[in-house]
Amino acid sequence: MILDRRTFGKSALGAAAGVALSNTIASPFAFAMAAPPRPNSIVNGVKIGLQPFCYHDLPQSDQNRSILIQRLVQNGLSFVELHATWVEPTFQLPGVTAEAAREKQRQWRLTTPPSFYESVKKEFDDAGITIFTYYVGFTMATPAGEIDAVYEAARLLGAQGAIGSYGLAVAQKLVPFPAKHNIFTGLHNHDNLSDPDAFSTEETFEKGLAMSPNFKATLDVRHFTAANGDCLKFLEKHHERVSSVHLGDRRKNNGRSTPFGEGDAPIIEILRMIRDNQWPMIALLEFEHGTLRSGVDEVQIVLDYCKRALA
């Protein structure tokens, strides 16, 4: 029987049910406990987490953080890549210029005490969720002091790394910071092939990784595929420098985002490669395809797709 990637989902439904059931009955006494179930998204040794903007219907703000945590628990996800917008107050308010909002943000980052980040970490800890990475964007204009404060914030949150979307020039500026805070810097690609500064191809990743042993690749398989890159060859060659994959689907040639299994990204193969080689890298679900379902339902569908791939 030959399975294509569309029929794969249906045929493996039973396997998915098995995985879900095994999670539910992990403790024979779970039914008697009042506490909500602890999420566990390690599937056959592969850690699966979420870039939570996948909850497209949940605006990213610190005010929605409690809902985010509830949703992660609901989906059974125990790892998250936390964008700073879930942590920091919103400074861009009506009547406030972008420049003024940015200055307020800078001052907030420089003056916020460690206890604030520790309390945020505790919110996730209490729910059984590990903050794997802290996602913050930097530019060439970001002062070194502010970068230092953000890296310290990442460490206080318990993150193993700080990642963001920027190019080679900004990455060079970040070289001193990960070692100082004992975390890594994650280099994240998009599919911009027209900008030589952008992370988009194997070549640009190699340039970035050569800057520091504390730099690791966050391979976004959607964008790498859209940039006509070969994700499997990249992982074969560079897996020791890959901290995580952003796992989702897109079509080649700057093609659109698609539901899992309808694009050109080899999602199943990537997951199995991680599993079969026992690589420590984490698979972070991240998608931009639209849906008429709720965010929780759509995340569950892609998570179940991954569980079936790993069954």
Partner 1 sequence: MTLTWKSAVALMLTLSATFHVAAAQHEAARPAERGVINFLTPILPDPVLQHSKETYVLYGCAYCHGVDLRVRNGEAADLLHSPLVRADVDGGVISHVLRVGIPQTAKLSPMPQFSDLSDRELADIARWIHYSKGQGHFAELMQDRDVVVGDISAGKAYFEKSCSMCHSPASIASAIKVVKDADLKAFIIRPAFLQSTPSFDVSRRTEKAVTGRAKHGTLLENYTSAEVADLLAFIKTIK
Interacting residue ranges for partner 1, rule: CB under 8 A? 56-59, 61, 63-64, 67, 89-90, 92-94, 96-98, 101, 165-167, 190-195, 198, 223, 226, 250-251, 253-257, 288-292, 295
Per the listing, tokens 């914030």 go with 153
Q: Which residue type sits at 170?
A: V
Question: From the CB of 44, what's the least distance to partner 1, in Å?
Answer: 30
DSSP secondary structure string for all residues of 150-203: HHHHHHHTT-SEEEE---HHHHHHHTTHHHHHT-EEEEE-----S-TTS--SHH
* Three-class SS state of 296: helix
> What is the spatial distance between Cα 21 and Cα 305, in angstroms, rounded to a whole number?
15
Give whichever of 47 and 223 is closer to partner 1, judged by the CB atom.
223
Task: Considering the complex, state which of residue 93 and residue 110 has its C-beta at the smaller distance from partner 1.
Answer: 93
Q: To the nearest whole angstrom, how small is the minimum distance from the Cβ of residue 238 to partner 1?
A: 21
| Rounded (5°) CA angle 43-47-49 | 110
Which of 190, 239 has the CB closer to partner 1? Answer: 190
Is 20 or 96 the residue whose CB approaches partner 1 more closely?
A: 96
Contact of 215 with 209, CB cutoff 8 Å: yes
Smallest distance from the beta carbon of 297 to partner 1, in angstroms? 13
Point out which residues pair with 187 in neighbouring strands: 164, 217
CB 296 within 8 Å of CB 76: no
**Phi and psi torsions of 55, nearest 5°:** -80, 75
CB of 267 to partner 1, least distance (A): 17
* Contact call for residues 80 and 48 (beta carbons, < 8 A): no
In the bound state with partner 1, the residue whose beta carbon lies nearer, of 237 and 256, is: 256
For the CB of residue 77, give the shortest distance to partner 1 in the complex, in Å: 18
Residue 184 corresponds to which tokens in the numbers above?
């890594």
At its nearest, how many Å lie between partner 1 and the CB of residue 220?
A: 10
Q: Based on CB atoms, which residue is closest to partner 1, 38 or 56?
A: 56
